Amino acid sequence: MTTHTNRLRQLLRTILDAAEPAATIAAGAIAGLATYRTISTNRPTELRATLALAAAALAATTTDNHIADLTAPLRRRFALHRHPHPSIDTLSHDVLATAARDAAIRSLRIAAYNSSLSHPDSWTGHADGTATSKLASGAVLRFQPAHKDLHTSASRGWDERYDLIVDHQQIKIESVAQLHELLKKLAAGQSTNETEADAVDPLGDGDDRTEPLVYEDDDQWADAETGEDPQWDTVEAI
């Protein structure tokens, strides 16, 4: 009985999730087209189009609200919520998406609006709230949010910053021009180590050693030997 109920629930969810937006789009399209054709052709085309779009938006919104009211009893009976309740899994996904979004938004500090860095799709969010973007020549740009924005135990002491991760070192990035220059050096086979590296302790655990690093996957960096969180060498580029 439970299996049958689950299958029925899944079937109803699929039907409703497909039918509701289809009906909303259809109502908007019909209203918009009817409005456009009703307005006299003597009127400016821009005015006709604007009124048609307004009518389409109003019809779509009204239809969506009515459909939600009509299907609400059925959804409640079979627990077919239009939007799933937050869970650990969904919140984990939200953390990754938020990290990627924040990295894109905050990139305005170092790059122009609508640059290649300002698109969330260019970033991969991580569970600790940071985000990375894979660049040319095997380099990775890393975004670290400030603790005041993240408020997690791991982020204590963090300041907002972008860093270029290359040759197991962390180079603080202050502008897109600096990033471009460093990537050109990498492409030409030149060293990016312009000053002596100073070991840092980004996690605040008192351990400032530097171990060989490997990039295991899209979720984490780790020491090659220990598998623990990495300790970076910081290079302030001139």
Per-residue pLDDT tens over the stretch 93-107: 999 999 999 999 999
Q: Are the C-beta atoms of residues 62 and 55 closer than 8 Å to each other? A: no
Question: How sure is the predictor about 141, in pLDDT bands with cuts at 50, 70 and 90?
Answer: very high
Higher-pLDDT residue of 114 and 164 is 164
Strand partners, 25: none
Q: How far apart are CA 179 and CA 183, in angstroms?
A: 6
Give 38-94 pLDDT, tens digit per residue.
998 888 989 999 999 999 999 999 998 888 888 877 777 766 666 667 788 889 999
Does pLDDT of 18 surpass 50? yes
Assign residue 167 a region (left: φ > 0; alpha: ψ between -120 and 50; beta: otherwise): left
Least confident of 115-119, 122-126, 230-234: 230-234
pLDDT at 133: 96
Alpha carbon distance 189, 228 (integer Å): 30
Q: How many CB atoms lie within 10 A of CB 129?
A: 23
Torsion, CA 53, CA 55, CA 60, CA 61, rounded to 10: 110
DSSP conformation letters of 96-133: HHHHHHHHHHHGGGTS-TT-TTS-GGG-EE-TTS-EEE
**Mind listing the pLDDT tens digit for each residue in 188-217?**
888 776 543 433 444 344 444 444 444 444
When comparing pLDDT for 51 and 4, which is higher?
A: 51
* Better-predicted residue by pLDDT, 159 or 43: 159
Please determine, for residue 7, whether its predicted confidence score (pLDDT) is greater than 50: yes
The C-alpha R_g of the chain, in whole angstroms, comes to 26
Domain ranges of the chain: 2-77, 89-235
Residue 142 in 3-state DSSP?
strand
The model's pTM is 0.52
Classify the C-alpha dihedral 150-152-157-162 as positive or negative: negative
6-10, 12-16, 176-180: range with highest mean pLDDT:
176-180
User: Do residues 210 and 198 make contact, with C-beta atoms less than 8 angstroms apart?
Assistant: no
Which range has the worst mean pLDDT, 4-8, 111-115, 142-146, 175-179?
4-8
Percentage of residues of the chain with pLDDT beyond 90: 47
pLDDT at 75: 72
3-state DSSP of 159-220: CCEEEEEECCEEEEECCHHHHHHHHHHHHCCCCCCCCCCEECCCCCCCCCCCCCEEECCCCC
